[in-house]
């Protein structure tokens, strides 16, 4: 009879559950105020989430949000007017164990119509994505292959485990000012924001997060629709109780709501930004394991990239005003692309991108937005995915323009996590009676039964079968190595 005595260490780990995606949809009708002229044609509708409140009750997450729709229309008098209205959005998702979750809300599509000259109808589609996390203790793997002898190959490996998941809401106010060379704004159509260059410095118990938030402001000026870009530094301090020396963190910053207030007519605005900082703390354990008997699947940083092409002006593109501008001798003057959100499902992630063109028809610029989708197949889970669009270029053509860009997906990809926990392995030397190893690896002798082994080690048969992946009907295999749980 041969025995190997092993000890194990326990680690608190967080494991991601299945994401729950709940659709958001609401329709609001608004009467045009008497101070504004009648509606002849809807030109553009831009929506922004201005308020977003999340709350958890047991395994249920509730989200109450308000989207502000800014409608640009051409009046019967031939002028361009702006109409604003608020659209409430509500949703809830269930299945968030222990109240540990990350929740993100994203607007997908907006439809705006004018039933008559004095009424505007706005329909908004969105999605609430909630991902629960459960916290468990890491245990030994349950499957050990048969071993004929005691010539075991021992090697050192490092396994990564997620110690903690943290999400913290933030809100702050910045001041945006147009440059002296930019024309004065007569009305703001919309604003968007995204974080970039996220960096984190981790010390025990605390994470210092720094990033840059880019703002894009769309406004109506005397020469038409224009956009302005602003960049502001961002910093946040997170408390991470699970963080220890040697740990590292994966940080993601998302902006969920923007509220704009005019400070000086047409030049200066005060923007209130709300969002979330998500953090995953990774710990590393270096252990000795038996080759091919134990395996670990590390959490790795995943990067995927693809190129997209959109040909504006083709028959498949239905932006009527853009085609009209080109038919009147207009031209494309600029192109940009912004990520809208990420859809999950069927082993893949679908990134949705807004391609934005500015067309000059001689009387001013007209913004045209088209949605582009890019799919990324995933083998495992992807924590805190981020989409970036770079290298956006456009080439004028006789029918419009060709827009190209590179879409990059970044995140932490985690497959089935199995962290080896063996910290000591010995096969020689006397064993002290007062010291009982937490796990024994034993080779089955000739003629032995499972009943004999369980009685010798005071181990329940159910635990022995579970630890070795056995069924009660399985026959005893001589010379097989068995894991025997000990208490």
- Reported as a single tens digit per residue, the pLDDT across 344-395 is 777 788 888 888 777 776 666 767 777 778 888 776 667 777 788 888 888 7
Q: What CA–CA distances, in Å, run from 172 to 112, 219, 271, 274, 275? A: 31, 22, 8, 7, 9
- How much is the CA Rg of the chain, to the nearest whole Å? 30
pLDDT tens digits, one per residue of 217-256: 888 887 777 888 899 999 888 887 767 777 777 788 878 7
CA distance 207 to 127: 30
pLDDT at position 447, please? 84
Would you list the domain boundaries of the chain?
A: 12-136+161-299, 301-414
- Which residues, listed in sequence order, are joined to residue 396 by a DSSP beta bridge? 401
For residues 181 and 226, is the Cβ–Cβ distance under 8 A?
Answer: no
pTM of the full structure: 0.64
Whole-number Å distance between alpha carbons of 364 and 382? 44
pLDDT < 50 positions in the chain: 141-150, 292-297, 315-318, 429-430
Can you tell me the distance from the alpha carbon of 165 to that of 157, in angstroms, rounded to the nearest whole number? 24
With contact defined as beta carbons under 8 Å apart, do 122 and 30 qualify?
yes
Q: How far is the C-alpha of 487 from the C-alpha of 480, rounded, in Å?
A: 22
| pLDDT confidence of residue 312 | 63
Can you give the pLDDT at residue 192? Answer: 80
DSSP per-residue string spanning 38-52: PEEEEEEEEEEEEEE
- Number of Cβ within 10 Å of residue 398's Cβ equals 6
What is the structure's pLDDT at 38? Answer: 92
């Amino acid at each position: 009879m041969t025995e190997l005595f092993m000890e194990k260490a326990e680690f608190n780990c967080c494991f991601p559950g299945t994401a729950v995606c709940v659709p958001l949809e609401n329709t609001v009708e608004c009467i045009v105020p008497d101070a504004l002229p009648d509606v002849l044609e809807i030109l553009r509708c831009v929506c922004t989430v201005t308020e977003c409140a999340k709350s958890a009750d047991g395994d249920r997450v509730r989200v109450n949000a308000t989207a502000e729709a800014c409608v640009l229309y051409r009046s019967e008098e031939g002028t361009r007017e702006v109409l604003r209205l608020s659209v409430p959005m509500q949703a809830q998702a269930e299945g968030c164990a222990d109240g540990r979750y990350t929740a993100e809300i994203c607007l997908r599509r907006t439809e705006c119509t004018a039933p008559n000259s004095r009424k505007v109808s706005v329909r908004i589609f969105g999605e609430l994505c909630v991902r629960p996390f459960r916290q468990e203790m890491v245990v030994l793997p349950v499957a050990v292959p048969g071993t004929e002898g005691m010539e075991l190959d021992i090697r050192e490996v490092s396994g990564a485990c997620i110690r903690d998941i943290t999400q913290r809401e933030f809100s702050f106010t910045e001041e945006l000012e147009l440059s002296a060379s930019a024309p004065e704004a007569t009305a703001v159509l919309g604003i968007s924001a995204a974080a970039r260059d996220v960096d984190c410095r981790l010390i025990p118990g605390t994470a210092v997060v720094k990033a840059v938030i880019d703002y894009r402001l769309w406004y109506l000026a005397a020469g038409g629709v224009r956009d302005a870009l602003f960049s502001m530094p961002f910093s946040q301090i997170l408390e991470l109780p699970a963080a220890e020396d040697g740990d590292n963190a994966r940080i993601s910053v998302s902006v969920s709501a923007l509220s704009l207030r005019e400070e000086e007519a047409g030049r200066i605005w005060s923007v209130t930004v709300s969002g979330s900082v998500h953090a995953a703390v990774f710990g590393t354990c270096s252990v000795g394991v038996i080759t091919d008997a134990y395996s670990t699947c590390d959490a790795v940083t995943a990067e995927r990239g693809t190129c997209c092409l959109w040909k504006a002006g083709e028959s498949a593109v239905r932006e009527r005003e853009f085609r009209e501008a080109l038919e009147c001798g207009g031209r494309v003057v600029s192109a940009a692309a912004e990520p809208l959100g990420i859809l999950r499902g069927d082993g893949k992630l679908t990134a949705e991108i807004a391609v934005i063109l500015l067309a000059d028809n001689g009387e001013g610029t007209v913004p045209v937005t088209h949605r582009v989708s890019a799919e990324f197949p995933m083998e495992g889970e992807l924590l805190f995915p981020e989409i970036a669009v770079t290298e956006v270029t456009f080439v004028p053509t006789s029918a419009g323009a060709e827009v190209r860009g590179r879409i990059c997906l970044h995140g932490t990809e985690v497959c089935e996590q199995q962290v080896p926990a063996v910290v000591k392995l010995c096969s020689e030397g006397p064993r002290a009676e007062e010291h009982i190893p937490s796990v024994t690896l034993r080779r089955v002798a000739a003629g032995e039964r499972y009943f004999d082994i369980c009685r010798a080690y005071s181990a329940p048969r159910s635990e022995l079968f579970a630890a070795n992946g056995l069924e009660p009907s399985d026959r005893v295999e001589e010379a097989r190595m068995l894991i025997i749980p000990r208490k």
